[in-house]
């Protein structure tokens, strides 16, 4: 998967506000707002995918050309 | 829209799942799907069986041949599926209570037979669905709704139990170490025989609250700080290993597999006839 073709996406209706992605993001890209995850500073994102790996509710992921196309 | 893995391997119309915020089961269910994807298995050739409990809701969300059965009997149903259709990759997703208490006998006998089933135990140390009763893996002196003064029982080490009973592959992972869990589930599926993988989950709602384990993130950090890979542990002095729990592969051996031995007997008698 080429990292240039992907970007961080959030599916807000699936988020239960557990904060796991916010706390374990190595670059502190994410914040919580009204008990839902929000992107605070996308410029800092290194597209490592740790948020996607540990999201229990599949609400955040690296989407884009290769990861999302069916 | 959701990620390709979720779209390909889950019944997305059933999401969001019923698990509480921060429940480790969602992370581990994803790891299991990732392992199946990595091995390139045909979805129609995989059968996932479960019993009753929080963990056992998982196959409801997974888009394979799935079977949600009675409490503790997932391995009994899975044994039936495997013998009837040996070409299927049969997997069991079960919980600590379902596997080690109500289904304890099925577990040791499935392990003894070394039948080619991959069992993944989502261990949250408590009976979550029914309201936080203590389970066979609740640590000594910790609390549950049925242990208001502390649990006096010793807890089960499920991989050790299964390994001693005859399972040919045993391993442990955690919800925090999700990538490693994917790897050991892959190896468990590849093993021809009974594989038992214990995934240590977090239950912030019951276990966490009853035992004052802090927030969801605190519980994830506890997994991170207290899990020790068995390969690393063997090189460390004893005092650094004390109080931690081991993760990684514990047993990986090759022994005759049950369905193959069973088919050999059928073939032998068909020849003689």
Q: Which two tokens stand for residue B45?
A: 């050739």
Contact B27/A53, CB-based, under 8 Å? yes
Residue among A16, A57, A68 whose CB faces B4 most closely: A68
pLDDT of residue A1: 46
- Average pLDDT of the residues of chain B: 95
Which residues, at least 6 apart from A38, have a Cβ–Cβ distance to it below 8 Å?
A10, A30, A31, A32
Structure confidence at residue B2 (pLDDT): 76
Q: What is the largest CA-CA distance in chain A?
A: 33
Q: Which residue of B has its CA nearest to A61?
A: B3
Average of pLDDT values for B153-172? 96
Q: How far apart are CA B68 and CA B59, in angstroms?
A: 7
In this complex, is the C-beta atom of A14 within 8 Å of any C-beta atom belonging to chain B?
yes
The HSE-up count of residue B251 (CA atoms within 13 Å, CB side) is 23
Tokens 């706390």 belong to A23
| Joined tokens for residue B262 | 């069973």
A54/B178 CB distance under 8 A: yes
Interface contact flag, A19 B216, Cβ < 8 Å: yes
| Closest CB from A13, A19, A53 relative to B217 | A19
| B82-118: pLDDT as tens digits | 999 999 999 999 999 999 999 999 999 999 999 999 9
CB contact under 8 A, A11 and B2: yes
Tokens read off for A57: 């509710």
Q: β-pairing, B169-174 with B195-200?
A: parallel
Asked if the model's pLDDT at residue A67 lies above 60, the reply is no
Average pLDDT, integer, range B146-171 = 96
B197: enclosing H helix or E strand: strand B195-200
Tell me: pLDDT of B9 over 90: yes
Evaluate if residue A65 carries a pLDDT over 70: no
pLDDT of B246 higher than 80: yes
Where is pLDDT greater, at B13 or B272?
B13
**The CATH number of domain A11-68, selected from 3.30.2000.10, 3.30.70.20, 3.30.70.1520, 3.90.1150.10:** 3.30.70.20
- Which among B1, B3, B202, B219 is the top mutation candidate for probing chain A, defined by the most A β-carbons within 10 Å of its own β-carbon? B3
Which among A56, A62, A69 has CB closest to B27? A56
Tokens of B82: 């495997």
For chain B, domains (ranges, CATH) are: 4-272 (3.40.50.970)
Count CB-CB contacts under 10 A for residue A14.
20
Residue of B nearest to A9 (CA): B2
B6, B216, B220 member nearest A58 (Cβ): B6
pLDDT for the residue numbered A4 = 63
Instruction: Characterize B162-191 residue by residue with b for buried, 16 or more Cβ atoms within 10 angstroms of its Cβ, and e for exposed.
Output: bbebbbbbbbbbbbbbbebbbbbbbbbbeb
Q: Is A17 within 8 Å of chain B by CB?
A: yes
Distance, CA of B215 to chain centre:
24
Contact B19 A56 (CB under 8 A): yes
Task: Spell out which chain B residues touch chain A, with contact meaning CB-CB distance below 8 angstroms.
Answer: 1-4, 6-7, 10, 15-17, 19-27, 30, 175-176, 178-179, 204, 215-217, 220
**How far from chain centre, in Å, is Cα B26?**
13
Q: Is A20 on the interface with B (CB under 8 A)?
A: yes
Residue A70, pLDDT > 60, answer no
Decide if the complex's ipTM is over 0.90: no
b or e along B40-61 (b: 16 or more beta carbons within 10 Å of the residue's beta carbon)? eeeeeebbbbbbbbbbbbbbeb
* Dihedrals phi, psi of A13, to nearest 5 degrees: -70, -15
Give the up-direction half-sphere exposure of residue B30: CA atoms within 13 A in the CB hemisphere: 33
pLDDT value for B118: 97
Query: For the segment B22-59, what is each residue's pLDDT rounded down to a tens digit?
Result: 999 999 999 999 999 999 999 999 999 999 999 999 99
Cβ burial, residue B5 (10 Å; 0-12/13-18/19+): middle
By Cβ distance, the residue of B23, B30, B204 closest to A58 is B30
Where are any strands of DSSP class E within B96-177? 117-123, 126-127, 133-134, 169-174
Helix, strand, coil percentages (3-state) for chain A, rounded to 5, are 35, 25, 40
Mean pLDDT of B129-151: 95
What's the confidence (pLDDT) of residue B1? Answer: 60
| Per-residue pLDDT tens digits for B181-218 | 999 999 999 999 999 999 999 999 999 999 999 999 99
Task: Considering only the beta carbons, identify the residue of B15, B24, B179 that sits closest to A58.
Answer: B15
Task: Check CB contact under 8 Å for A67 and B4.
Answer: yes
Q: Which residues pair with B195 in a beta bridge?
A: B118, B169
The arithmetic mean of pLDDT across residues A43-70, rounded, is: 83
**Mean pLDDT, range B221-246, rounded to an integer:** 92
């Amino acid at each position: 998967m080429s990292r240039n073709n992907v970007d961080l996406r959030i599916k807000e209706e699936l988020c239960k506000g557990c904060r796991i992605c916010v706390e374990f993001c190595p670059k502190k890209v994410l914040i919580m707002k009204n008990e839902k995850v929000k992107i605070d500073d996308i410029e800092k994102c290194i597209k490592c995918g740790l948020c996607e790996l540990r999201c229990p509710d599949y609400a955040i992921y690296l989407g884009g050309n290769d990861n999302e196309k069916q | 829209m959701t990620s390709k893995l979720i779209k390909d391997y889950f019944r997305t119309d059933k999401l969001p799942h019923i698990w509480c915020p921060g429940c480790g089961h969602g992370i581990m269910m994803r790891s299991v799907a990732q392992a199946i994807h990595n091995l390139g298995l045909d979805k129609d050739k995989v059968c996932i069986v479960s019993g009753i409990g929080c963990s056992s809701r998982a196959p409801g969300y997974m888009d394979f041949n799935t079977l949600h059965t009675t409490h503790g009997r997932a391995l009994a149903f899975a044994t039936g599926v495997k013998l009837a259709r040996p070409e299927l990759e049969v997997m069991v997703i079960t919980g600590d209570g379902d596997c080690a208490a109500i289904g304890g006998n099925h577990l040791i006998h499935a392990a003894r037979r070394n039948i080619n089933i991959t069992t993944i135990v989502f261990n949250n140390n408590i009976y979550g669905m029914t309201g936080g009763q203590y389970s066979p893996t609740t640590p000594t002196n910790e609390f549950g709704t049925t242990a208001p003064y502390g649990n006096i029982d010793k807890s089960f080490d499920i991989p050790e139990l299964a390994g001693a009973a005859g399972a040919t592959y045993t391993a442990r992972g955690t919800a925090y170490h999700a990538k490693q869990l994917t790897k050991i589930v892959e190896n468990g599926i590849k093993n021809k025989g009974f594989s038992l993988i214990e995934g240590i989950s977090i239950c912030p709602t019951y276990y966490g609250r009853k035992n004052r384990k802090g927030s969801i993130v605190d519980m994830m950090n506890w997994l991170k700080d207290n899990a020790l890979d068995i390969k690393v542990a063997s090189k460390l002095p004893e005092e650094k290993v004390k109080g931690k729990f081991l993760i990684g592969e514990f047993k990986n051996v090759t022994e005759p597999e049950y369905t193959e031995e069973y088919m050999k007997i059928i073939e032998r008698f068909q020849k003689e006839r």
